[in-house]
């Protein structure tokens, strides 16, 4: 059997995890002296409630090698092969923890992939790995196809506020204040495994229009699923998706809720789209 493993930054729901039979290892979120396992000890709603009241950003902790080693050993000892897809190595040390664990267990039976992405962009790759597994592909074949797709994943998002970028030290207090007054919404993307600001828009509708513009500039491969995601703002997600209804079938897209690891920096009210480009 082929076991597919990812981490909690993939923001794949518990229901979907159970449907697909994948394993999701959680990162850790730390609010001061309190620690929570992402998606296990704290729900998305509880996380965002805490985040909005916090004077300082929570910190996040990578999955350690021991946690990967335990899970890898469990499946290798059962005779299974493993495909493990993690958050971008530029965004977390989780991938390196998995590398360390693989070397100590059974390198030849563990296919390890750096997604160079996060949240619902990573989730797209995991879903494709599931589809390939279910179609009868081997672990080596799954690895080869996912590696081919890694650089084709596009993720564009509009943030609702600059506050969390400010708390994270990404912009100055003056810039954050001006941005808030003007209703500026930064547009971000994951490029070469890193989060990059690619533009800004004044107001919600302009931000959604900017996402659509990026989508049309670099269109998706119709053979793959498109995903939309939001950080504790399902209503805003629906508004964003409505803007895209003229160019794609909204009924066929996958929806994702951005969890606490990525939400720490995005803050509530972020919405975005991810897909595999042609």
For 129, phi and psi rounded to 5 degrees?
-60, -40
Predicted confidence at residue 53, as pLDDT, reads: 87
Q: Is 55 exposed, middle or buried (0-12, 13-18, 19+ CB in 10 A)?
A: exposed
Same domain, 122 and 249: no
Place of tokens 């890898």: 72
268 & 188 share domain: yes
129 shares a domain with 209? no
**244 compared with 161, residue with greater pLDDT:** 244
Q: What share of the chain is helix, strand, coil (3-state, %, to 5)?
A: 45, 25, 30
Least reliable range by pLDDT among 35-39, 125-129, 191-195:
191-195
Kindly state whether residues 175 and 97 are assigned to the same domain: no
What's the Cα-to-Cα distance from 229 to each of 17, 131, 182, rounded to whole Å? 17, 21, 25
CATH number of the domain bearing residue 68 = 3.40.50.10440
Q: Give the domain extent around 145.
A: 2-27+62-150
Number of folded domains that form the chain? 2
- Structure confidence by residue, pLDDT tens digits, 143-187: 999 999 999 999 999 998 777 877 766 555 665 665 666 778 889
Quick check: is 43 in a domain? no
For residue 135, name the pLDDT band (cuts at 50, 70, 90).
very high
Residue 172: the pLDDT is: 59
**92 and 7 housed in the same domain:** yes
If DSSP states are collapsed to H, E and C, what string results for 35-104? EEEECCCECHHHHHHHHHHCCCCCEEECCCHHHHHHHHHHHHCCCCEEEEEECCCCCCCHHHHHHHHHHH
91 plus 209 within the same structural domain: no
Cβ pair 253, 224 in contact under 8 A: no
Task: Report if residue 141 sits inside a domain.
Answer: yes
């Amino acid at each position: 059997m082929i076991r597919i493993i990812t981490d909690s930054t993939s923001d794949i729901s518990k229901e979907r995890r159970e449907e697909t039979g994948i394993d999701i290892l959680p990162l850790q979120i730390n609010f001061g002296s309190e620690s929570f396992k992402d998606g296990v000890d704290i729900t998305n709603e509880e996380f965002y409630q805490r985040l909005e009241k916090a004077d300082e950003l929570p910190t996040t902790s990578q999955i350690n090698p021991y946690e990967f080693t335990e899970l890898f050993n469990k499946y290798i000892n059962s005779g299974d092969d493993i495909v493990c897809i993690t958050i971008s190595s530029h965004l977390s040390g989780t991938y390196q923890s998995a590398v360390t664990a693989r070397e100590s267990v059974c390198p030849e039976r563990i296919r390890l992939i750096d997604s160079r992405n996060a949240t619902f962009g990573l989730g797209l790759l995991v879903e494709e790995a599931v589809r390939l597994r279910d179609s009868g592909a081997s672990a080596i074949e799954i690895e080869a196809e996912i590696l081919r797709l890694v650089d084709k994943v596009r993720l564009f998002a509009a943030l609702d506020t600059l506050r969390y970028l400010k708390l994270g030290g990404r912009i100055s207090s003056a810039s954050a204040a001006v941005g808030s007054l003007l209703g500026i919404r930064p547009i971000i993307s994951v490029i070469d495994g890193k989060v990059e600001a690619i533009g800004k828009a004044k107001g919600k509708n302009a931000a959604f229009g900017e996402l659509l513009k990026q989508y049309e500039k670099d269109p998706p491969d119709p053979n793959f699923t498109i995903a939309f995601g939001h950080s504790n703002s399902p209503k805003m997600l629906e508004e964003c998706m409505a803007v895209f209804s003229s160019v794609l079938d909204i009924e066929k897209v996958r929806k994702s809720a951005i969890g606490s690891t990525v939400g720490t920096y995005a803050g509530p009210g972020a919405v975005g789209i991810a897909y595999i480009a042609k």
